[in-house]
Amino acid sequence: MLNVKLIAYTPDPEKVIAAAAKICYSASDAETIMEGLTPEKTDRFLGMLTDMGHESPIEHASFTFAIEGVSRSLLAQLTRHRIASYSVQSQRYVKLKEGVFAFVTPPEIARDPVANEKYQQAMADCHRNYLELADALQARHTAELMEQGLPEKEARKKAEKMAIEDARYVLPNACETKLVVTMNARSLQNFFRLRCCNRAQWEIRELAWTMLELCRRAAPTLFGKAGPACLCGACPEGKMSCGKTAEVRERSLSL
């Protein structure tokens, strides 16, 4: 199940951004840049940046999320957002042991009994094949390492890492992963514009809306208008539009 936590972000992010904007448009210096930035003036600076389309100052605020319960399929899409930092649970170093195989089931598969049965069986087969491969490879690597002079305990430990490095190739895109991601506010706004859209794939869309809700709590003015492009104008998808702009805007208002 998707679980997202905003674990850290720039302290007073909106004020930091307002200070960055202030240095661009006033004679302020390093000693005075934070002076006089009341909540009202901070909101005014952020509104001015939005109206002008001046986005670089918002890069000075960053947000860090801990994410779990997402698939490797989602991870492949998420890491296309390159102005970000990612730390992902490794399949080279973390073995998926017996009875501990977590995976994501798409809702459309879950709601179809026949499809779901086939899907669950496919996941079980993948896990079984993974464990069998890992065990076979580990046994061989252990024997070879012991022949080279390593003590049995050390040989087994090293052999396990060598084995799962190759056994993981049979794991499916559905396999769950965990990660920590950090983005600056400008990258996040671009992420929300693309991934909160109904045209985005269902899993990353739900992640994006969850992250947006957390960002709005932390910085309501900064992210007040963030979301898919249709929140602030016509849908840019043209003939590919979902045709549900009113629904999308209602969802945004409910955050």
Residues marked as catalytic = 195
Nearest 10 degrees: Cα torsion 128, 134, 139, 143:
170
Q: How far is CA 118 from CA 34, 74, 106, 113, 125, in A?
A: 60, 22, 13, 9, 10
> Using an 8 Å Cβ cutoff, are 183 and 84 in contact?
yes
The neighbouring-strand residues paired with 180 are 66, 87
d(CA 110, CA 108): 6
Sign of torsion over alpha carbons 236, 182, 51, 223: positive
Half-sphere exposure of 173 (CA within 13 A, CB side): 7
Q: Which two tokens stand for residue 96?
A: 């998926």
- CA-nearest of 179, 229, 225 to 47 is 225
The helix (run of H) or strand (run of E) holding residue 62 is: strand 62-71
Q: How far is CA 198 from CA 193, 201, 204, 208, in A?
A: 11, 8, 10, 11
What order do you get walking across the sheet with 176-184 strand by strand? 3-9, 62-71, 176-184, 85-88
For 179, list phi and psi in degrees, rounded to 5.
Answer: -155, 165
